[in-house]
Amino acid sequence: MNNQELDNWLDLAGLMPPMPSDAAQKLYAKLGVDTSGKHTFLPSLITRNEYSHSILPLMKQELNSDLVDFIHKRVEKTFELRNKLKTLQNRIIDIVGAGNFSALWLDREAFSADSMEHRALMTEAVIHIYSVEALQKIVSLFYKHEIPMIPYGEGGGYNMGVTPMAPAVTISLRGIDHISEIRASRRSEGKFEISVGAGVPFKDLVAYLAKRGFVLRCDPNTPRAATGGIAATGSNGGRKAFEVILHGRAVTADGTALCFEADKYETDCINNEPFLLARKFFSIENTVDFENKYSEIKKKRLKACRTANSTGVIIPLQGMKANANMLAQQAELQEKGHENTDGMLDAPTLPISAFVGAEGSTGFIYEVTFEIEKPLEWLQASRWHFNNVDAAMCATRAIKKLPKHEQPEYFEFISGQSIRRFLIQDFPTVFSQNDEAVIILAVEGKSKEDCALRHMLNEKVAHEAMLNSQYKVTDVLIKMEKTNVLLQSEGIEQFEILRKPREELPKKLRTKCKTDMEIRTEYLGEVLKIVARTNPRERAEQKQDVLFGHLTPNHTAIIHWNIGGFDLYDEEQADIAWDYLENVIGKAQSLAPTDDKNGSARFTGEHGVAGKAPFLWLNYIPEKDFKRMCSIKDILDQKDLFNPDTLFLRTSHARALRARLLNTSAKFIQESLEKTKKAEAKKLVQINDPDFLLLASENYAVAEGQRCTRCNSCKVCPVVDAEHELEREKKRKSKTSVLPSKRNILMFMEKIAHMRRASEQTQDKNAVDKIFKVTAQMMKESASLLSKCFYCRKCDKACPVDIEIHPLMRAYHKMGKLPSMGSKLWGFIYERLMGEDFFKSITYRLVAFFILLGAPFLYFMRKLSFVPDWLKSYTVPPTLAFAHYEATSEGNKIESTDNFVIIANDLGTDNFIGHEKFANETVYIRYRGCMDTFGKPEATTSVDEYFKNVLHARIVDLEKKMCCGFPFEADGLHERAKQSQILSLIEIAKCIYRLMQECRDSLNKIPQFIVFSNCPTCCEAIKEMRTLLKSEDIREQVRIRAKLPEDFDMLSLDFSIQDTAEIAMNLIKKTQSENLPADENTLSLNKVTKTVGLKVPCHNTKSATDAQIELLKMYYTGVAAYDRCCGLSGTGRLKHPKIGTKISEKLFEQIREEPPSAVVTGCPSCRDGVKMQRDILAAKKDSIAEFEVSGIFEQILKDCKKVAS
C-alpha cells in the first residue's frame, strides 16, 4: 500500500459535478483549476485536511446543500474505502498474492482508463486475478464489506467501462486466460464452439483459431481488447457479440457464480430486432420472473469454475500464452486430488442480455463461449470506390437484399470524410479526393468457381440496382480493385492489403468525441447525408467527421462516428461539438415513419462519445424503460457495487459528473509548452539548467500525450506477457505489480504534469512545493516497476504515431528528479566493457579467460535437474573471444592519422567509394558494435569477406572500438548513454569530414554517406545520434572535440542508416538487373538444402528484416523467421531472470514450430539469448537444441562455400 502521506491526498475535482460560476471562482484560488466546466475538468490534488478546513466550509457557504452532500459523501467514501483496504490487506493478499495487490499511483492511473482519450477518477487500488476461484473469493469479500468494484481486461476498449466514476477498486481479469478444446456447437449444426477466459486478448484468440482453420465472425474494432471486455461492452454496437456468444459464466453479488445463455425468446430478439444495445437487458421484460429465477440460482451456492475439457486440461494459446499453462493445470489438478468435474455444467441460466452489454454493472463475466465456424476454402474480395454516396448506398442496399447465405462474409464501409482526413495521406496511391464512399467486401466459396460466382452475383445485383436508379456505373464507380480467388489455407495477403486502410483507421483516431450508431441499412445513406449537411452552430469550417463501420447480415449498419476538428478540452469548442452531435443523433433517429416501431437508427450508448455515452444515451430512453433497466440492475447488484455510476445515472448530479472529462490541453498547459519552445529558440535558459530540464520533461509528457491515440497497441510488451504467465503458473512470487504499458506510463506522467501546472495557478509557493514533493514521491515509488523494462522497443514498433520509450523514460527520470535507475554494479560492469578506457580489450580477454576456466563447472550446473531454468541463466556466459577484430589487420588507411580503415580487394588504392558500378556516389561507413568486435569477430570478418569477394564492394570501417550507448540507456544511465553517443558522433564526424576533404582535393562530387551495422541496436542508436545533431549546442560540441575547422558547416554532416543486409541486397539486385556474367574473382556460393531460422531482432526495421529474409532465401531452401524477443536484451535476463527465461521460452515455442539447422541473426544480444536457452535445453537432452547459432554472413559463407567447393 501507499505510505501514510500519499494516502492523505485525493483528486477533488474528479469527484465534483460542474460548480456554479461564482463558487468556481472562489474555489479557483484554493484548487488552481476552474471547476465550472460542464464538459471538462482538471485534476486538483489536495489533502484531506485542506478539504475539511478550507474547501468544505467554502462549499457550504456557496452551494446548495444537496450538491454539498453529493460531493462530501464521495470524499468520505474515498477515505473510508482506503481504510477498508488497509484493514483487509492481509486477507486480500492471502487470496491473490502480494504482487497482485497494488495502490501505487502509477498502477491506479494505468488501470483507470481504456483506449478512450478521456479519464475521470483514479481507481483506489488494483487487484490482479488469475483464477476463477480467486475472483469468487474477492467479490464475496468486497461485497460483504461494501467495496465498489470495476472490471478490467486489456484496457483496449473505447467505451470507458473501466473508468471509475465513483471511489472503487479495479479488478483485472487478464490472468483468467484459459481456452477450451473446440467442440461441436450446441446451437447450430455444422458449426463449433470454444470457451475462453475473460482475459484472453481477442486478437490472440482470432490468431489461435486461424491456425486451426476456424474463424470467429466478430470484429471488436479495437487493436487490443480482452474477450471479457468484448462481451461486457457488446462490441461494435452490440449485435455481433450477441450473435456469436452462446454461453457465459459470471460472478455476481455475494460471490454468486452463475451461467447465462440465450433461450428461444432471446434468440428470436437477436435475430429479428434491428437494434439491441440501445435497450439494456432487452430480453428481460418480466422483472418479477427474472428476480425469482436469480433467487433460485443464488440458493444453489455454486462454486465458480471453468468449462471442463475431456482431458481436464485447458489448451493454452500458442503465441502469447505458453504450453507451460497445461503443465500448471495438470499440477493443480494433482494437487487438489480430485477428478475433472464441472459443478456448473447443468446449472440454470439467466439471459445473455443480463451481462452482455451491461458494462460490468451487473457482475464479472469470467468466461465466454463463442460460436465459431470453418470458413469456406476459397475467398475473393474487392474494394469499390464511389464518387457518389447515393450510388454507393444503392449498391449496398441491393447486396443486403440478397439471401443471407449469398451476402458477403465481410462488408465494411468508409466515408469520404474519413478518406480525406486520414487515409489519403497514408495511402495516396489507393484513395483520391474524389472518393465519397468506399465499400470493402469479401465472399467465400466451397470451390474456386463457387466463390467467383458469389462475387459476380454481388457485383451483378449492385450494378443492376445502380442502373435502375438511373446511375451510369462507369460515372459513379471510380474503380473496383479485386483480389484473385484465394485459397485461404495458402494465405490471403491480397485481402489483407485490400482492407488494411480500414483496419488502420481506429489506430489513427484520437477518440475524444466518438459514438456508435446502429442504423438500418435502408437509412444509412440518409444518415450520412445528415452528417455531411448538418453544421455546428459555430466554427463549421473546423468540422472534420470520420465515419466507418460494418454491415451485419441482419439489415443493420454499425457506424463509428468520430467528430474531429474541435479541441474538446476547450470548454467552448466542446460545447459546440456536443451540441452538434446531439443534433445529428436526433435527426438520424427520426427518419422512419412514426408508425415504424423500430425507427431508423439508435444511439447505442456503447463506445460512445467518451464518458458522455450514458449521459446522452439516457436522453433517448423512455422513462418507463429506464426504470425497468434500473430494477434489473438492482436485482443483480442490490448495493450498487459493480461499476457504480457508469450506466445507470439516477440523479442530475451523477449525470452532470459523468459528462465531465479530464482536460489534457488546458490553456495553461499550452502556455507552458509555448514557454519551453520560446526559451529554447531565444536561448533564454541554459539547456542543462535543472529547472528547465524539469519543465521540458513535463511538457514532453504532455506533448507526447497529445499525440498518443490511446490505441493500446503498445501492450505487445513481452515483459508484461511473461509476468502474467509466471503469475498464472504461480512462479512469479513478486511483491511488486506488473510492468505498465507505455501508454499507461505516459498517461501517468501527463497527470503529474497537470497536477503541477494546476498548483501553479494558485500562486501559492508553499502549495506548489508541496504538490511537487508529493508527485515526485508518487513517481519515485513506482520507479521500480519501470526498471523491469527490457528496452526491446516492441512497443515502439507497434505504435502508430511513433512515440518512443527511451525519451519517455528519460523524461520520467527528470520529472521525478530521481537518482539513476541503474545499479552501481551494472554501471561499473558496463563502464569496464562498453566504456572508452584503455583497458577495454584487456577486460574482455580476462572475462573470456575466466569463462573458459569455469566452463566445466557451468556445464555441470546446467545438468542439475533440481536447479530451475531461470537460475541456469547464470550458467551460460556471453560469447567472448580472445582474438578481437582489428580493423588495421583487415584493410588500409589513406593517411596514418585517419580514424578509419578502407576494407576492399584493391588494398593498394585509396578508393573508398562503395562500389565502382552500382554505388559510385555512395560511401559505406561501418559502425561496429562492441560484441561484433570483442565477442564474435567472425561475424565482422565474414561481412568483410562477403563484401570484398562476393559484392566487390568497399567498407570504410571506423577503427575505434565504440559503444552506441544502448547498454547504459537500458540500465537507466541516460546521461552516460548520451555521452557515449556524442563520442560516437565525434568519430563519425571525423571520418565524414576527412572523406569530404579527400573528395574536394580530388575535385570529386561529395558522395552520399551510409552508416551501417550488423547490430540493429547500434542502428537505432545511430538514428538517435543523428537526432542529437539537430541541437546547435551538440553540433558545436562535436565540432570542437573532433577538431574540425571553425568554418566547417556541421549541417552538411549528413548520413543515412541501414542494416548490412539492406546494402548487400541492394547491390545484389542491381547486379542481377544488369544480368552481368560472373566475375572470375567472385567467390562462388551455392544454394544449400537446409533450413535456417532468422531470429528477427526486436530492434530490426521492417526493411532490414525483409532484406535479411530475402538474402537467406538466396542461399537456403528453407528459411523460418522468429520474431519473438530472445529474453536476454543485453543484460535484462540477468537482472530479471524469471522474466527473461519466460520470454525465451516463448521464442522457443516458435522455434519448435519450424525447427532449424541453424539460427542466424545480426544482433549479438539475440545470438547470446538464443544460445543461452539452447544450452540450457541441450543439458536436458532436448532435441530442439540441436542447432548452431551464428551471424548471418558467417553462416552463409560457412555453408555455401562448402557446397561450392
pLDDT tens figures, 939-948:
999 999 999 9
C-alpha cell at 788: 523491469
pLDDT tens figures, 102-146:
999 899 988 887 776 666 788 999 999 999 999 999 999 999 999
Q: Within a domain: residue 987? A: yes
- 1074 CB-near residues (< 8 Å, 6+ apart): 917
Question: Exposed (0-12), middle (13-18) or buried (19+): which is 895, by Cβ within 10 Å?
Answer: exposed
Enclosing H/E stretch for 158: none
Cα–Cα distance measured from residue 1112 to residue 1092, given in angstroms and rounded to the nearest whole number: 8
Shared-domain flag, residues 182 and 197: yes
**Phi and psi, residue 1117, nearest 5°:** -75, -25
Looking up cell 555521452 gives 979
Question: Which three-class secondary structure state does DSSP give residue 1119?
Answer: strand
Question: Exposed (0-12), middle (13-18) or buried (19+): which is 783, by Cβ within 10 Å?
Answer: middle
Cα–Cα distance measured from residue 969 to residue 79, given in angstroms and rounded to the nearest whole number: 40
Shared-domain flag, residues 358 and 431: no
- 260 CB-near residues (< 8 Å, 6+ apart): 247, 248, 249, 250, 349, 350, 351, 352, 354, 355, 356
pLDDT of residue 489: 87
Burial 1016-1046 (b: 16+ CB within 10 A, else e): bbbbbbbebbbebbeeeebbeebbeebebee
With beta carbons less than 8 A apart as the criterion, state whether 750 and 703 touch.
no
Q: Strand 1158-1160 relative to strand 1188-1190: parallel, antiparallel, unpaired? A: parallel
**Nearest to 981, CA basis, from 1012, 945, 933, 1021:** 1021
pLDDT of residue 863: 93
In the chain, the amino acid numbered 411 is: F
In the chain, the amino acid numbered 122 is: M
Cα–Cα distance measured from residue 1139 to residue 1134, given in angstroms and rounded to the nearest whole number: 10
With beta carbons less than 8 A apart as the criterion, state whether 1102 and 1109 touch.
no
- Cα 279–chain centre separation: 32
Q: How far is CA 720 from CA 399, 739, 746, 788, 1001, in A?
A: 44, 6, 16, 9, 56
Q: Is the pTM of this model over 0.85?
A: yes
With beta carbons less than 8 A apart as the criterion, state whether 296 and 338 touch.
no
C-alpha cell at 236: 461494435
In the chain, the amino acid numbered 591 is: L
Q: Within a domain: residue 603? A: no
In the chain, the amino acid numbered 78 is: T
Cα–Cα distance measured from residue 71 to residue 1198, given in angstroms and rounded to the nearest whole number: 74
Shared-domain flag, residues 1059 and 1120: no
Task: Mark which of 342, 372, 402 sits at the end of a domain.
Answer: 372
- Cα 151–chain centre separation: 20
Count the helix, strand and coil residues of the chain and give each as a percent rounded to the nearest 5.
Answer: 50, 15, 35
Count of other CB atoms within 10 angstroms of residue 872: 23
C-alpha cell at 1153: 514450430
Given pLDDT bands bounded at 50, 70 and 90, which one contains residue 555?
low
Shared-domain flag, residues 365 and 257: yes
Cα–Cα distance measured from residue 841 to residue 308, given in angstroms and rounded to the nearest whole number: 60
DSSP for 1035-1102 reads: HHHHHHHTT--TT--GGG---EEEEHHHHHHHHHHHHHHHTPPPPTTSPP---EEEEEEEE--TT--H
Helix pair 974-1001, 1016-1028: axis angle to 10 deg: 80
Given pLDDT bands bounded at 50, 70 and 90, which one contains residue 32?
confident
Least confident of 88-97, 319-328, 350-359, 774-783: 319-328
Q: Within a domain: residue 703? A: yes
Shared-domain flag, residues 677 and 766: yes
pLDDT at 239 over 60: no
**Phi and psi, residue 474, nearest 5°:** -65, -20
With beta carbons less than 8 A apart as the criterion, state whether 247 and 369 touch.
yes
Maximum CA extent, the chain? 97
Q: Within a domain: residue 526? A: no
Q: Can you give the three-state secondary structure of 718-737, one letter per residue? A: HHHHHHHHHHHCCCCCCCCC
Task: Mark which of 372, 399, 430 sits at the end of a domain.
Answer: 372
pLDDT at 986 over 60: yes
Mean per-residue pLDDT for 680-688?
58
Question: Which three-class secondary structure state does DSSP give residue 482?
Answer: strand
Mean per-residue pLDDT for 1040-1054?
91
Cα–Cα distance measured from residue 670 to residue 687, given in angstroms and rounded to the nearest whole number: 20
Given pLDDT bands bounded at 50, 70 and 90, which one contains residue 907?
low
Q: Within a domain: residue 860? A: no
Quote the DSSP letter at residue 950. Answer: I
Shared-domain flag, residues 965 and 1113: no
Cα–Cα distance measured from residue 851 to residue 849, given in angstroms and rounded to the nearest whole number: 5
Domain with residue 480: its CATH number is: 3.30.70.3450
Range of the domain at 189: 178-372
Task: Mark which of 1016, 1042, 1074 sits at the end of a domain.
Answer: 1074
Shared-domain flag, residues 891 and 965: yes
C-alpha cell at 167: 471511489
Shared-domain flag, residues 355 and 383: no
Q: Within a domain: residue 848? A: no
pLDDT of residue 116: 67
Enclosing H/E stretch for 1190: strand 1188-1190
C-alpha cell at 644: 457504480
Shared-domain flag, residues 807 and 933: no
Shared-domain flag, residues 1033 and 911: yes
Given pLDDT bands bounded at 50, 70 and 90, which one contains residue 599?
confident
Shared-domain flag, residues 27 and 48: yes
Q: Within a domain: residue 167? A: no
- State the average pLDDT for the chain: 85
With beta carbons less than 8 A apart as the criterion, state whether 241 and 395 touch.
no
Q: How many domains does the chain have?
A: 5
pLDDT tens figures, 169-224:
999 998 898 888 888 999 999 999 999 999 988 888 888 888 888 988 876 656 56
- Cα 335–chain centre separation: 37
* 349 DSSP β-pair partners: 259
- Cα 198–chain centre separation: 18
Cα–Cα distance measured from residue 1087 to residue 1113, given in angstroms and rounded to the nearest whole number: 9
Runs of H (alpha helix) within 867-965? 869-872, 887-890, 930-934, 938-946
pLDDT at 320 over 70: no
Looking at mean pLDDT, say which of 457-461, 729-733, 903-907 comes out highest.
457-461
Cα–Cα distance measured from residue 407 to residue 1052, given in angstroms and rounded to the nearest whole number: 60
Q: Within a domain: residue 1034? A: yes
Q: How far is CA 1198 from CA 714, 1082, 1089, in A?
A: 39, 16, 14
**Nearest to 298, CA basis, from 95, 143, 173:** 143
Shared-domain flag, residues 891 and 978: yes
pLDDT tens figures, 390-440:
999 999 989 988 998 899 998 888 888 888 877 888 888 999 999 999 999
